[in-house]
Structure 1
Amino acid sequence: MTDTSPAERVEQLTAEVTRHNRLYYELDAPEITDAEYDALFRELLDLEERFPELARPDSPTKRVGGRPLDKFSQVRHRTPMLSLENAFEEGDIGDFDDRIKRFLGLPATEAIPYVCEPKMDGVAVELIFEGGFFSLGSTRGDGFVGEDVTENLKTVRDIPLRLSGETPPDLLTVRGEVYLPLAPFRKFNTEREEAGEPPFANPRNAAAGSLRQLDSRITAKRPLHIFCYAPAEVEGIEFGSQSDFLTRVQLLGVPVNPLARKVSGVSEVVAYYQEMMERRDDLDYEIDGVVVKVDPFSMQRDLGEKSRSPRWAIAWKFPPRQATTVVEDIVPQVGRTGVITPVAHLAPVNVSGVIVSRATLHNWEEMERKDIRKGDTVVVERAGDVIPAVVKVILEKRTGGETPLAIPEQCPECGGTVVRVPGEVAVRCVGLSCPAQIRESLKHFASRRAMDIEGLGEKYLEQLLRLQLIRDVSDIYYLTRADFMQFERMGEKLSENLLNAIENSKKRDLSRFIFALGIRNVGEHTAKLLATAFGSIEHLENATTDELLSVREVGPQVAESISDFFKSEQNKKVIERMLAAGVSPSVEEKRIGGRFTGKTFVFTGALTRFTRDEAKKMVEGEGGHAAGSVSKKTDFVIAGAEAGSKLEKAQQLGVRVLTEDEFLELLK
């Protein structure tokens, strides 16, 4: 800040953070560490708070979400967002093609140029860019009036806050589909179930729920994506066709589906549809059909629209991924965190090419709402989840012999106590030695995203449990070659590989170790925040509730889960045994045992004794956290010359204010 003005620094940081975002999120090729990125981001955020007039409309800080809204305002679409007519079989596409030729007076033998695109099963939105900047985003609503979800859409990293190119169009309005990829959807639902919250029925519902959050900071935590598929009102640019739009809009930074393709005539439409049917299960997002559009915009204008749909486009839907079968049994299943889930065992049935014999019923509240009983004839569906779900009961098929499954009074695995926490839908076993929880905890602990013990999969863990060689995760680090040689078909080389993998896992990052412990409500992201804040498992174990709450993004529920976990003497013993066996989660040495552990500092005003980056390093070097804004969780505010609103807020909240010299005295 001594060599450049605030305005110049904001420009530098905006460009730099934007570039690193692209390297990380789009190219999967980061050049700097997370800590280095956080430092740049926080510096930009701090400058924008001090000099709000310098904040650019395309600033990457817009991605994190803002203050919660009271409600969404309404937006009237400049041109209606129409729905599409549906086709369900090849003959419907032939009829569609015939209608177009008759309407335009074309010969029956002419091959119409079409563009085919996967029909995304997401949430339709409209994006408006004015002067090259993203200015307004809204939902489809009733096609004429939608809801203003601009702040939430700014958190979708696919959406450019500023269009690419030196001369962007004066006005560009595009329609698109926001979606949640399948892997994050499954993880999200698992976390909701473990937290006692009802899961989303499918990725579309999850995307819709995320997009309609009044608090955009919640939306920012959910990995939403978008593909844009059509222009609306534009000025300063002209598109000659749908294929031209898809090609040129990408150059402006607007994402489109790479599977979209220009074809000629009905036969090529049919071939595309069949190809998408085959590729459907390999995609990382849900599609429920193919959209077929006449390519030239001149032909689209001539064809026009009917009352609610265009004449020039049609949605050819895939056959439903549903089937009818019988619930042969309902079995309670115990998960890693003790949540007991009812699972339907079904008469095997083919659902879109996959034999299904089990379906999740999610929880007892959901099962009771749908009134699913043993012996029922039901409709099952594969819709974005690994385990299919029961959609509904066919009541007409009931004979009177069907029986519901009551909430168990004891754990079906260990006979331990079962509780239902007020305000939650989850039913939990609280038995610390429950074998089902141990089995799932071991799987989680050894998994790739946790301690990544290569080769130690479910098959070997089951044998270790059956042979009573392990009772909890700490026992993994006391296994010997002789233990593994008791396995079926185990050789010297394989046992050596397993032991090496266990040994290598002893030096995993602290954040992965925290995540591997399976603390309720602590996912990978929160584990990283905790590792950064406390620097060692010992410091985290001894943290007070106030210290936990001082960590950004850690609220009362998460803090309570962490405290409860470390209050357990059994959990403490498990961790002690692992540390005694040589498990030493790697952390940056500067964060261990610092005098500022659990303390939050905010720097404001013009600093002369050190730069903000230097101040941040000094704080984090002693285990503290350098924040960008003042709150009741702030411990110290270091005020330089011309300190403004942050100093005033600190004084209002009674936060201790220090000069730069007084801050340096703390370090002596």
Structure 2
Amino acid sequence: MDQKINRNEVEKRVRELNNLLKEYGHAYYVLDKPVVPDSVYDQHMQELLAIEAEHPDLIFPDSPSQRVGGEILSNFSKVVHEFPMLSLSNVFNEEDIRDFDRRVQAGAGHSITYICELKIDGLAVSLKYEKGNFIQGSTRGDGTIGEDITANLKTIHAIPLKLSEPITIEVRGEAYMPKKSFIKLNEMRDENGEEPFANPRNAAAGSLRQLDPKIAASRNLSVFIYGIGGDGSAYGQDSHSDSLDYLATLGFKTNTGSKRCSSIEEVIEYIESWQERRQDLDYEIDGIVIKVDGYEDQEQLGFTARSPRWATAYKFPAEEVHTKLLDIELSVGRTGVVTPTAILEPVRVAGTTVARASLHNEDLIREKDIRIGDAVIIRKAGDIIPEVVSVLLEQRTGMEKPYEMPDNCPVCDSELIRIDGEVALRCVNPQCPAQMKEALIHFVSRNAMNIEGIGERVVDQLYTAGLVHDVSDLYALTKDQLLSLERMGEKSASNLISAIDISKENSLEKLLFGLGIRHVGEKAAHILSEEFGTLEKIAMADADRLTSIHEIGDKVADSVISFFENEDVQEVIDKLKSYGVNMIYKGRIREELPTEGPFAGKTVVLTGKLSILTRNDAKEQIEAMGGKVSGSVSKKTDLLIAGEDAGSKLVKAQELGITVWNETELVDALGEKE
């Protein structure tokens, strides 16, 4: 009996310590308002660790002790995002901002309220919670598939392991390294003779991609949560600003610098104020995110193939430095575009040493009167890509040489042409070695066919050795052929053959993107694959059929048609087919969705709390029966499912005369049983 009483007392103390440490941690890491000295926190943590060491069965999943880092991982597994992590378009000046506002106002048809947020310079992450418990965290990856870094994210104290409500939710945020942590880390690396990180963003990304979670734990990272997967309407929120408030009540760290703006003038004032104050922050920001606040307005504005129409990112002006332009080199891309590149006297800019910068095209060289030998100003566009801003004319000596673009391709000597409406010069020789190598590199890349082990160096060797000429030749490679390559061992060759074989099973959208059709990015490839189901049907589609698809315009349609009309392309596809490369979409194509039933062709909105089904289950089942689940109520809504505590959406649906069901009626229609 005494032993049982003692056990109960120990468990009671463990729960007390858990709650105390969570309270102290939330105040310190989330609210930035410490309530006890560090010594008190450390004392309680040591007591908890000692009890847990003696009673391992009392180590709860959300215990603060679980943040210290666990077992070393062998690799990162892949995670498919339930809601894609979309990228944003960029704006760089006031004119761009006002253009964005004009497009938004025209698309919405009324005045818009914006919400502006600091653009944290870190690593985008997605966090999944099930019944309030943190179960998985991942990187953005390509926006559709990321890497599972749960163990590393658990080491970040600002990420709650248990929410204040037992809900299932996916949230998005930006993991970052505070400036003081960055300085301390680089000082340690310098002392150890290691290369310092260029900037806090790289340091944060590098920390979260360590296979040993203890390394991530030692880096003192933090996070700001900026949104809910999909949007907050599924949780009763009507706007992004409402969702931020809701996220804070759940225990997440949100950025208090955000502001609702009722006009674009307020947006510009907000940007200007933070441009002056950004150095005062204890973390790096590289711009301001501008979003339409209301979810109904967001839904009406919709998306392009790459980004939402209702949001954009203003990028702060980049750091500019002076250097000397030593030469101009030409490169040929996979679409035949010939791009001039400035060879520079190496110079430090925005954290890295730069020796090359894009000159984009012949018109830019003429417009800026760029000459070999010029003193120039360079910067990193978006703090990433080096570019030449202008020439320092006052420093010219007369020895500078004007540059003339050649008439022929620098690689295959074919005549260069300029297509009407384009500024770029192109090599249109489909057998140009440079284009073929670039096409191969694109085809094997992670976002396309994802053939691990084939990089630029291996592609160059394969092409030079005459082993591959087009992408289909990859599937005819043998192990003996690979072993003939420089620095290719037995194990590497076997792994490469295996990776090539595995890629045959990719779903159609990967192949379609990998083929490198102009204007067909990852999202457009997915849309086309979902619409048609097979490569053959896409190849046979005419312009009217293609442009009838939402988000597929004339430019994409013309490019798709021209691509598949090419005889060389047809030959490559026939060869890929003969090697067993899959050409079928592995998801559910649109034409297979039911055309009859309670949800077929209907737009459905879910609101309030569901008790029989999870919201995700309801959404998936409705869509499987041919319905479309929307986040907001409008005249286009056919049906509203109202759970407990349904709010403004229910009121609006009733005002519009929209049919309203309770959850029991939904379950009956789905054929589910309680």
TM-score, scaled relative to structure 2: 0.47
